[in-house]
Chain A
Amino acid sequence: MPTNFNWLLDGGIVGLYLLVTMVAGVWVRRYVGKVEHFLVAGREMNLYLGIASLAATEFGIVTAMYTAQAGYTRGFSGAVPGLCNALAMFLVGWTGFCIKPLRDAGVITIPELFEQRFGPFVRWLAGVVIVLGGLLNMGVFLRVGGQFLVVATGMNVRYLEIAMTTLLVLVAVYTIFGGMLSVLVTDYLQFIVMSVGLLVVTVLVLTQVGWFDIVTTVQGRYDAGAFNPFANPDLGWAFVVSNLITNTAAVLTWQTVISRLLAAKDTATGRRIYTGTAFFFVCRWVLPGLWGMAALVMVKPETLDGIARQMGEQNGTLFAMPAMLAMLVPSGIMGILVAAMLAADMSTDSSYMLTWGSVIYNDILAPFRRRGRWSERKGLLVNRFIVACIGLFLLFFGLWYKLGGNLWEYLQTTGTIYLSSMSVMLIACCYWKRANNWGAVAAILAGAILPVTALTLNLFVKVRVGGQEVGWTTATIGDAWVNIGTYVVVALAMVIGSLLKPQSKAEAAAA
């Protein structure tokens, strides 16, 4: 596919960005003296660095791809998850709901807090569920990022794996050396590059494609459903409610978000990071969503079918946005765009590798660390080894996993594996004195079984809908209802499990 990417000019801009990022990321390793520095930057993070880091982490190429896909397939209504996310983040930051007791507890991970209430086994089990859910969710990042680069820059698809591997190795190097400190410093640089790219390209899209043409096209394709989610047959109340619940749970328990709260210098700063970053979550859906809608104006569906075949994927809508950018963005700005997307991707990958690694070290390996005290040096070495192993896992999972259907729904379903149980457990842990380990284990089991069953049925049992093969759960129940149902069942499991456990006299008196 033709593109305006100039390997000398645009490649030079990208190369300069990569060089500066690597130098900064590796340079700060000299400040890492303890495990606490590696995992939570010694809890020295202030407000604006926190906002930059949280925004950069929560926006990767994968985010741009699925939000643009939502714009392409649903119009402006596709941005509803962003509005839900922003609302949830602002309210949680403003009220301090759950995050205040969590930060006040001085823990490094959520399972560590659970141990204080539910015991060491629940801590270990929660750690396993968080890592499984998180890594399954993150597994698609690398391939989708590589696919964006192939379509936008016109790079030969044969080099996709090499590009993905190189990108991951670069990220892994500075994350392994500097941990959270490197992540924060590179996040800051990446936030600036990413934001400049997002804003410049959005202005370019609006001036070149035009607001009127975008609105007319999405209205012609989706009618009122393009502007009102309740009038969209694919969305409706269940979709909105599901997104409100999922985004609230993510704000409360998603480890990459929580790690910013826990790395903040105090609770008040952590809460202000939440309120200060909240509106970014509207931007991260609306701006790339607009790119997706511009693709609806510019890119022919048969072009997308060709790209999907070339990539070996079933769904071409994911590639609408990069295909549009390849046609629209001129040389020079293309370099800024690719640097911005790489910045977005690298900040996400580094944070995700570190935070899932922190749960493995802090919670899953907790029983082994108790047997013999580990020195800071050994702790750092183990953490670095874990980050490297996660990088290897991502490389192999990212290479062979082929995604079918809507990317956001996949991410939501895999995320629900732990979001449902962890959010219910966190709320119970903070505010319900009767909650205990029976309820916690029941919640974890219910939260894992339902989404895994739904995902398995979607992958292996197909139903024909409108000439297309769709997963059984999506076709018959709907992803939104599976999500809502999971949270309801998990909450019931928590309550019933806790009430079934006989209370000791001391517990009854305390309750």
Chain B
Amino acid sequence: MEGLHFLWLGVTALCLLWYGTITLYVAVRGGRDIGQMLRNLSKLNGPREPEGR
């Protein structure tokens, strides 16, 4: 059973390491993706008044 304890310890450590890294990475690159997506949609929509006015 000792081996399984170490297996789950490894999985837990990997989760913390991977999740911490991906959070930082996605926080930076995801922000850029939002900017790019909104710029592309602005071009597709063309000049117009924001909806609801």
Distance in angstroms between the alpha carbons of A282 and B48 in the assembled complex? 45
**Number of chain A residues close to chain B: CB under 8 A:** 47
Contacts of A177 in B (CB 8 A): 52
Distance in angstroms between the alpha carbons of A228 and B7 in the assembled complex? 11
Contacts of A191 in B (CB 8 A): 23, 26, 30
A382 at the interface (CB under 8 A from B): no
Contacts of B31 in A (CB 8 A): 188
A29 at the interface (CB under 8 A from B): yes
B38→A49 contact, CB < 8 A: no
A227→B26 contact, CB < 8 A: no
With A42-B40, A42-B41 already in contact, the answer to whether A199 and B23 are too (CB < 8 A) is: yes
User: Looking at A28, A52, A181, A279, which has the most chain B CB atoms within 10 Å of its CB?
Assistant: A52
Distance in angstroms between the alpha carbons of A45 and B45 in the assembled complex? 16
By beta carbon, the residue of chain A nearest B9 is A211
Distance in angstroms between the alpha carbons of A499 and B8 in the assembled complex? 47
Distance in angstroms between the alpha carbons of A196 and B27 in the assembled complex? 11
Contacts of A37 in B (CB 8 A): 41
Distance in angstroms between the alpha carbons of A46 and B37 in the assembled complex? 8
Partner of A44, one of B7, B12, B41, B50: B41
Q: A412-428: contact bitstring with B at CB < 8 Å (1 yes, 0 no)?
A: 00000000000000000
Distance in angstroms between the alpha carbons of A49 and B40 in the assembled complex? 15
Distance in angstroms between the alpha carbons of A257 and B36 in the assembled complex? 22
Distance in angstroms between the alpha carbons of A44 and B45 in the assembled complex? 13
B51→A30 contact, CB < 8 A: yes
Partner of B15, one of A47, A51, A181, A286: A286
B26→A31 contact, CB < 8 A: no
Distance in angstroms between the alpha carbons of A181 and B4 in the assembled complex? 44
Distance in angstroms between the alpha carbons of A30 and B45 in the assembled complex? 10
CB distance from B6 to the nearest CB of A (A): 10
B37→A227 contact, CB < 8 A: no
CB distance from B11 to the nearest CB of A (A): 6
By beta carbon, the residue of chain A nearest B11 is A286
Distance in angstroms between the alpha carbons of A290 and B8 in the assembled complex? 10
CB distance from A126 to the nearest CB of B (A): 30
Contacts of A287 in B (CB 8 A): 12, 15-16, 19
B38→A282 contact, CB < 8 A: no
Q: A226-255: contact bitstring with B at CB < 8 Å (1 yes, 0 no)?
A: 011000000000000000000000000000
Within 8 A of A (CB), among B1-53: 1, 4-5, 7-9, 11-12, 15-16, 18-20, 22-23, 25-27, 29-34, 36-38, 40-42, 44-45, 48, 50-52
A496 at the interface (CB under 8 A from B): no
With A29-B51, A48-B26, A76-B8 already in contact, the answer to whether A199 and B19 are too (CB < 8 A) is: yes
B18→A44 contact, CB < 8 A: no
With A181-B41, A195-B19, A202-B16 already in contact, the answer to whether A46 and B33 are too (CB < 8 A) is: yes
By beta carbon, the residue of chain A nearest B32 is A48
B16→A48 contact, CB < 8 A: no
Q: A60-101: contact bitstring with B at CB < 8 Å (1 yes, 0 no)?
A: 000000000000000010010000000000000000000000
A328 at the interface (CB under 8 A from B): no
Distance in angstroms between the alpha carbons of A33 and B4 in the assembled complex? 54
Contacts of A48 in B (CB 8 A): 25-26, 29-30, 32-33
Partner of A184, one of B4, B29, B34: B34
B37→A44 contact, CB < 8 A: yes
By beta carbon, the residue of chain B nearest A185 is B34
B19→A31 contact, CB < 8 A: no
Partner of A49, one of B19, B30, B44: B30
CB distance from B49 to the nearest CB of A (A): 9
Q: A20-47: contact bitstring with B at CB < 8 Å (1 yes, 0 no)?
A: 0000000011111100010001101111
Within 8 A of B (CB), among A291-346: none
A227→B5 contact, CB < 8 A: yes
Contacts of A50 in B (CB 8 A): 33
Partner of B30, one of A33, A52, A76, A181: A52
CB distance from B36 to the nearest CB of A (A): 6
Q: Enumerate chain A interface residues (CB-CB to B < 8 A).
A: 28-33, 37, 41-42, 44-52, 76, 79, 177, 181, 184-185, 188, 191-192, 195-196, 198-199, 202-203, 211, 215, 219, 224, 227-228, 276, 279-280, 282-283, 286-287, 290
Q: Enumerate chain B interface residues (CB-CB to A < 8 A).
A: 1, 4-5, 7-9, 11-12, 15-16, 18-20, 22-23, 25-27, 29-34, 36-38, 40-42, 44-45, 48, 50-52
Known: A44-B36, A211-B12. 17 other contacts (CB 8 A): A30-B51, A33-B45, A33-B48, A33-B51, A44-B37, A48-B32, A192-B27, A199-B20, A199-B23, A203-B16, A215-B8, A227-B1, A227-B5, A227-B8, A228-B4, A287-B12, A287-B16
